[in-house]
Amino acid sequence: MASGDTKIPVNVITGFLGSGKTTLLRRLLASPRLANTAVLINEFGEVGLDHLLLERLDEETVVLQSGCVCCTIRGDLVTAVRDLFFRRESGIIPAFDRLAVETTGLADPAPIVFTFMADPVIRHHFRLGNTIATVDAVNGPLHLDQNPESVKQVLVADRIALTKTDICDGEQTAAIKARLARLNPAAPLVETAAGDFDPEDLLAADLHDPARKNEEVRRWLAGAEALADPQGEAGHSHRRLDVNRHSARIHAICVTHERPLDWTAFGIWLTMLLNRHGENVLRVKGILNVLDAPTPVVIHGVQHLIHPPVHLDRWPDGDRRSRIVFIVRDLDRATLERSLAAFNCLAEAGSEAA
């Protein structure tokens, strides 16, 4: 089995119709450091891609018995990725070192994430890297208001690429940036029209890159700190009053726990929470101070799909509390904190008895 470091990273490029996914992909692939990337796309759009390793996907889904949308296997993706891998191994195609999957504008990215984590062949050879969502600065607010898929794409993203800022005014740009930061504070935002972004930073800087993972965690913690600021939260609350907008019910919260967490109790708590509230817990990203572990543990997931935990070599800052950023619909921070604390004290009593 390939270890975490030798698996081929996969980048999912998502974004609403016409938000500039293909244009972004073309610019990313032009970077010499990312030239050895295989690309799977859902549809040939107006913007042509001229790339050596380009394959087309036909959307075909297999819904698993649970009937949950995020636990859907994309049959087309399984076939395409397995086929690509076998041809790579047989030397029929060059040994690509990265795979980019461009979704359709209306796609929910969660089944793609699930497919890479669940398929027994794929998960042993590939690992998920950053998911990038493109958001159009001009039409983005309308997409977010009217299409739940657009909101979901932003929530699942590890990076947000804001496009078309060159054709809208500063006020519009500031408004959409504030809205995106509220929806997903853990995802750094890049304005691609400015042209001075680092393609590697978008695609390659992730939790599996030993040189960058601490910096990556520091970034989402900075987003979490903004949430913990009471003034910031008060500032956001007026937007939540608009309940007619479905995205108004979605917000990010940062759950903190002062004492070291018991890993066993935490696992029981999070699986129980995600089983009952998985539909309303859209995203989880956290750094944990685990009892008896000298260094922090990072967890991240989309709905009830949690990735294998990652160990950091050192704490990214002076704060030793466990901090978990949740993007939720209709759940509140205080209840989550109380619940986590109650489960953790259960473990403390349990370990004395054991």
Longest dimension (CA), the chain: 65
Q: Is 249 in the site for other proteins (CB under 8 A)?
A: no
Which residues from 201-230 bind other proteins, rule CB under 8 A?
Answer: none
Burial label for 16, CB within 10 Å (0-12, 13-18, 19+), is buried
Which residues from 306-335 bind other proteins, rule CB under 8 A?
Answer: 306-309, 311, 331, 335
Please state, as a whole number, how many other Cβ atoms lie within 10 Å of the Cβ of residue 195: 8
Q: Is 1 in the site for other proteins (CB under 8 A)?
A: no
| Cα(297)–Cα(36) distance, integer angstroms | 31
Q: Report, in Å, the least distance between residue 136 CB and other proteins.
A: 35
| Cα(166)–Cα(57) distance, integer angstroms | 32
Q: Is 265 in the site for other proteins (CB under 8 A)?
A: yes
Q: Is 256 in the site for other proteins (CB under 8 A)?
A: no
Considering only CA atoms, which of 311, 351, 303, 309 is closest in space to residue 328? 303
| Cα(212)–Cα(170) distance, integer angstroms | 32
Q: Is 277 in the site for other proteins (CB under 8 A)?
A: yes
183 versus 261: smaller Cβ distance to other proteins: 261
Cα separation values, 201 from 16, 196, 283, 345, Å: 22, 11, 21, 40
Q: Is 276 in the site for other proteins (CB under 8 A)?
A: yes
Q: Report, in Å, the least distance between residue 266 CB and other proteins.
A: 8
Place of tokens 């208001």: 145
Q: Is 273 in the site for other proteins (CB under 8 A)?
A: yes
- Provide the β-strand partners of residue 100: 11, 39
Q: Report, in Å, the least distance between residue 256 CB and other proteins.
A: 17
Interface segment toward other proteins; rule CB under 8 A; list 17-25, 47-55, 299-307, 317-325: 299-307
92 versus 354: smaller Cβ distance to other proteins: 354
| Cα(170)–Cα(305) distance, integer angstroms | 37
**Size of the residue set binding other proteins (CB under 8 A):** 49
Q: Report, in Å, the least distance between residue 125 CB and other proteins.
A: 15
Q: Is 118 in the site for other proteins (CB under 8 A)?
A: yes
| Cα(304)–Cα(198) distance, integer angstroms | 31
10 versus 310: smaller Cβ distance to other proteins: 310
Q: Is 349 in the site for other proteins (CB under 8 A)?
A: yes
| Cα(230)–Cα(125) distance, integer angstroms | 44
> Which of 108, 290, 312, 329 is in the footprint of other proteins by CB under 8 A?
290
Q: Is 354 in the site for other proteins (CB under 8 A)?
A: yes
- What's the distance, CA 164 to chain centroid? 22
| Cα(302)–Cα(290) distance, integer angstroms | 21
Instruction: Calculate the CA dihedral of residues 80, 116, 143, 197 and round it to 10 degrees.
Output: -90
Q: Report, in Å, the least distance between residue 34 CB and other proteins.
A: 29
> Which of 92, 234, 241, 353 is in the footprint of other proteins by CB under 8 A?
353
Q: Report, in Å, the least distance between residue 183 CB and other proteins.
A: 22
32 versus 294: smaller Cβ distance to other proteins: 294
Residues that bind other proteins (CB under 8 A): 66, 118, 120, 262-265, 267-269, 271-277, 290-294, 297, 299, 301, 304, 306-309, 311, 331, 335-336, 338-339, 341-351, 353-354
